[in-house]
Structure 1
């Protein structure tokens, strides 16, 4: 199999740090959420890594608790910073 392409969507502070609402990321076959996060850190090394230390992720709308979860071609990975609520 070939590489997988995912869509990463950024919200709130993550959007500001990445400088975009979404982007496509191509990763090797067998890549995991952790691999995608490593690529995001590399792409946006100046501002995003600090935010990524505190975010949560949704993969195709489902909360990611295990970053070793494999990615599939066309998956959507949402990057959600902590939100204040009350």
Structure 2
């Protein structure tokens, strides 16, 4: 249980930061905790969308190796969540 939570936080941090870099415009106006939250959301939502579209029977890899397509979906979903979060929080750059 704790290993799953730590994995989600670490993966969420990495995916969130990658999603922040992928997001259009300057999206550095959201705090780190919100970036991690967007990353965790991107990991979960991106994995489920990928599994639904490509008909993976379980949430494990659909391939025998590293599932790069699933990670790409996670990053794109995290970028969308970063854009939404930046729009909602409304913090402006000085």
TM-score normalized by the length of structure 2: 0.25
> 1 or 2, which has the higher strand percentage?
1
> 1 or 2, which has the higher helix percentage?
2
Structure with max Cα Rg: 2
TM-score normalized by the length of structure 1: 0.26
